[in-house]
Structure 1
Amino acid sequence: MSYERKGRFQYASKADIAKYVSDALDDIIFTMGMSKDIRLHAEIGFRDVRPDIWLINYNGSPVGFIEIKKPSRKIMNDPVVAGQVFDYLKLLESFYGIEFQFGIVSTYVHWRFFWLSGTDAEAQQNIITSKLPSADQSPLLKELPGIPCYDDNVKNLLCIKVIQSSDALQTVEKREVHASRIFTLADKNIILAIVSILYKMVSSPRYKVNVADLSRSYIQLDEKSWHWEGLPKNLSNIKFNKIPRADAKNYICLAYLGSGAEGLVWLATTTGGVGCVVKLAKAIKPISAWKDDQNTESQTRDKMEEEEFNKTLSHLKTEAKHWMSLWGFKAQAKIIGGQPALVMPYIKMCTDDELDNNNEIKAAVNSTIKQMARKGFRHNDLFRRHVGIYWKEGILHALFVDLSDIKEDKEEDAIAYMVKKLKI
């Protein structure tokens, strides 16, 4: 950890600091022989609840985070930073089942470690074990919905029953975090402190998360904002047989499903129990050359963010049109949580094994390829992870998601292209 020149830390932007912190952590992880146990990642997040760096184990599950800040006299005690940290820790707890949640805030010259109140005992431990536990290879969720049926008069609705836990959540706890003392680069214990927190992150037990559970905290969104909240107490099940009404304004994120070309994808429900999938636009990242204290640059950033906002909403509206023209589903591009979003039907995504060995699914996928090609289009960014299935009128149908990159093409060329991409 030696990115100092003549006793002064040199940086031009927050991006520079992030690079220094990442390099320092990579060095520590490598030196301690932890490269197979933990690594840095920067994708998963929710709107502005997106730490600069996630720490994940080798099977891709988040175990902790690092938030980067520019050095200042008060930054490590800033209530706004504490609020950000609380949200990151809640994501680890509620969506990823991390029992003991830890996070790091760093300016590179100063480091501080944070946790939720239930992790106090573990935070005080200074023992570093010589052998880390094997990462749990099982899914994060106990249950995802099966294959939905989108018939008007379907008898056997696909639904998830809300677990009525004996320890049902009554209110979301106070927005409070606990923290270590502030470490500096000159502190002789800084390396050991970082190593200790990394070991605690990787070693924390992880439990599988129920999709719908009254004892969990969830991200609830309206048109302009979001907050942590429990499920409505009168909600008994979540149904997956139709798309929410166009005038629905409140959504609850149930599970993180992954990222698409233009956003982060969540299994969600309305407060009335209509299940769906919501794609939230990715947070707008600051340009590294901007400086927070320059008014003109701040105004330029606001203008660029507005332009990017409108551009993203326009793209999502186009994607919604593709959902209707290709698959007959009324997806909705709208503002949710203060950002562009796309509301889509829930579709059961296929596994590689199903695409290789299930003849009924393979036939449905081939039919979908031909259907799309007949309409003069191809999915220009098609991978197996984009293939989903659903029932309608007793027939198994397939469709492709992530429709942000659709190209016109001749029918024969489109078929050949998509068959090759899916290897079927």
Structure 2
Amino acid sequence: MMDHEDEFLNTFFTQVAQLCIDKAKETVEKERESCRQTQMGPWGMLLLHLPQIAMAERSYVDLGFLHTKNKGFLRKDNSLKTVYESLKSDLKRLEEMTRGTNSIGATVANVSNQLCQFITARIQLIEFYEKMYNMSVSSKVMKHQELLQFIEEIVEGHVLSCSHLALTAIKTGLTLEFEILVQLTKAQVEVQNWKFLPTLMALYGAQTRMSAWERTLQSKESWKLGFGATFLKANQQPALYQWLVKLRSAILAKYSLYFHTALSQQASPGEMRSIMSKQSVDYYHKMQSFQRKHDVLAVLIIFDSRGTENSGPGYRYPDRGADASESFRFVVCYPSTFMQKPSEHLDNIQTKIKERQMELLAMDKVTYHKSTKDLCTYAFHNTDPRMTLVVAFENGKQRDKETHITSFMTDLAMHIRCNKVYECLKLSK
């Protein structure tokens, strides 16, 4: 049978996990009223800290950790990270004070210790989100492998955290958030290396965990507006959840472009148009529209598989024997007839990607190459370290259109990289 204290804590942390923060604070107030005589004892001291934990959690899921308020000259830093660190210090002191007093003291000491573990995980997650945001604004290149290693180390460090039964609800929420971040970061690593099935599995893994987390949020408090009437807010999900949905949608749109060729072999043109139109961005349509509007020869993406085990599911170059062109694969191309043209274009593209590799890896500008041999100009810009976006057009035909080409390629690459989604972590509030 559950002790009164354990039952109370279970109720409180379930309410916090469901983001019923006002209800959780009311639960604490009622408990404090019913045990006024022991307010200075271990239990009373723990009750003092619980509303602060509830408020910190509300701020966290609303991305409050990236919005420091009132931080300026002669004002203390009251960022959410600092709030958590202060709470952690208080709970450590409480654990030391109550350890070995009596049975209630032992419960308080144990719960305080495990809440410290939970808060440590929160602080590390804040650092992870900050790392993602800072990477997106300070560099054109998101280092997804580095981010994956960072989040996996955090997860590994908390496998045994928060094992107290009363903390089950918040531990479940924490675990789901961990797993969503691991799966989405893994999807980014796999998609930029052009791996069809591992990317799909990671996106599916993220989706199942997001659905599970959403189910725990279905009891979230409704919003009251005037005269006691209750209205459901159009989008009740917290900003953090909405941002994770946005990130997954962005990766799925990228996946739909990078594997357009493979997907279109399994669906009719009509079905394919329907699939693409449902994405957050229809990148293939953008490529089509640009090619038609500006009458360029082709818009394509090439994968450089040199040094990788996997060379992706796309088209090979026309069969010309075993040569270096096997290392360069068509990811997607519009119009597709460009791939059946004589190999001169392909040789030029391949040679320039090799020659300008370091320049392209910087991802900071569009590189042009004018070929007198085939009377064509090629524009290059990497969307990912191994993915090169190419626009091919006839010499002399686009004299005043190079600005449009540069603008199109820069904009498309920036969106494909999902940098804007990481940047909007600070704009989601």
Give the TM-score normalised by structure 2: 0.22
From the two aligned structures, give the one with the greater helix fraction. 2
Q: Which has the higher contact order (CA 8 A, sep 6+)?
A: 2
**TM-score, length of structure 1 as denominator length:** 0.23
Larger radius of gyration: 2
